[in-house]
Amino acid sequence: MADDSSRKRKVRGRKIRSDRSMKEGRRAKKELARKAPARERNGDSPLSDPEDVVPEPFVETDAVATLRRRITGWLEADQPVHLIGPTGCGKTALALSAAAQRDRPVVWLNGDEAVDTAALVGDHAGGERYTEDDRFVSGVSKQTEIVRERWVDNPLSVAVREGATLVYNEFSRSDPAAHNVLLSVFEEGVLERPGKRGADRTIDVRPEFRAILTSNDVEYAGVHRQQDALLDRFVGVHVDYYDAETEREIVKSHVDLADADVERIVEVMRSLRDELDLVVGTRAAITAAKGLAVFAGNGENGEFSDELLADVFMDVLVPKIAGEGPEDVSQLRTRIAESL
């Protein structure tokens, strides 16, 4: 009997050691997963490789290169850069190009009315429920159900933790109250995450972290005036429409048209930009060129007819006066015809 009892104790001892070993292994795996970078444990991480964010196509003339050097210079000086300018002038492409030049991971964030603090830093994404089996005592099984809240980091948390370049597009379209968390990021180098409990409520900002923000001018609809305390921590770089040569190169990079046709499209658009009380950006010239390439081939003399040009320019620009009276539409048609 004694020998049999001893044998059972030895078997049970091996079982206990085996169970403990398995639990320690599972615990170690969870710890490794918790400490892994976000891009390794989260398949939809906002982190992007710098070479993947370079706009395609991207035209680099002397004017573009000069402006980008100003941006990257301020980033090297550890200053957040706020690009401000009219819609359609190329702010976003410029921001992404400057971010890619840093050769650091890039995090993209697009601003709108729905962006709040949680959308920036993270939030609880439901509960995580699992059952733990306790079989330490032979023949006895004890199950414990554990519910744990699951926290998901959003773009700002990922960017500051990984030392990435944050490209915050349409920054001024978000509610200024959502940006209170940025004050401590740029001033104290600490990100506080409201709603997060425990020792990791805050994240120390890695020294490699940088931010590039883009905003339309304040007179645009849907744009919020941001708090002065935050704007005071930015360097503002005004981005205007490029020179005629750069605009021609940009349009040519998007569509296969003869140089003479591209030159005329850009010339007319720049003329309308000066004459109309409308936003006539480089994007409008690209859209018009794409339309002309589809609707007709080059004429006998290598040029499009004035009638076709007027129709295309009207189609591109008339949405900007949607909801206004027929007199405004007629006046727009007349101004386009005069520019041609």
SS3 state at 217: coil
Quote the CA–CA distance of 71 and 58 in Å, as a whole number.
17
C-alpha 208 chain-centroid distance: 18
Of the candidates 41, 182, 190, the one whose C-alpha atom is nearest the C-alpha of residue 115 is 182
So what's the pLDDT on residue 289? 94
Tokens 């990922």 belong to 158
Instruction: Look at strands 165-169 and 190-192 and give their pairing.
Output: unpaired
Is there a contact between 189 and 233 (Cβ–Cβ < 8 Å)?
no
Phi and psi at 115, nearest 5°, equal -75, 120
Domain edges within the chain: 1-35, 47-123+151-238, 244-339
So what's the pLDDT on residue 87? 87
So what's the pLDDT on residue 35? 41
SS3 state at 125: strand
Phi and psi at 34, nearest 5°, equal -65, -35
Tokens 């081939």 belong to 297
So what's the pLDDT on residue 223? 72
Query: Any alpha helices (H) in the chain, and if so which ranges?
Result: 2-35, 38-41, 50-53, 62-76, 91-101, 117-121, 155-162, 180-187, 228-231, 244-254, 259-275, 282-295, 306-317, 326-339
Of the candidates 104, 16, 97, the one whose C-alpha atom is nearest the C-alpha of residue 59 is 97
So what's the pLDDT on residue 231? 86
Identity of the residue numbered 166 = L
CATH topology of domain 47-123+151-238: Rossmann fold (3.40.50)
Which residues of the chain, if any, have pLDDT below 50? 1-2, 5-43, 298-302
Sequence-separated (6 or more) residues with CB below 8 Å from residue 335: 272, 275, 276
So what's the pLDDT on residue 164? 96
Is there a contact between 155 and 109 (Cβ–Cβ < 8 Å)?
yes
C-alpha 105 chain-centroid distance: 12
The CB-side HSE value for 122 (13 A sphere, CA atoms) comes to 28
Please classify residue 279 by burial: count the beta carbons closer than 10 Å to its beta carbon, then call 0-12 exposed, 13-18 middle and 19+ buried.
middle
So what's the pLDDT on residue 327? 75
The CB-side HSE value for 121 (13 A sphere, CA atoms) comes to 22
C-alpha 222 chain-centroid distance: 18
Quote the CA–CA distance of 156 and 167 in Å, as a whole number.
10
So what's the pLDDT on residue 44? 57
Of the candidates 252, 239, 321, 336, the one whose C-alpha atom is nearest the C-alpha of residue 286 is 252
**What pTM, to 2 d.p., does this model score?**
0.75
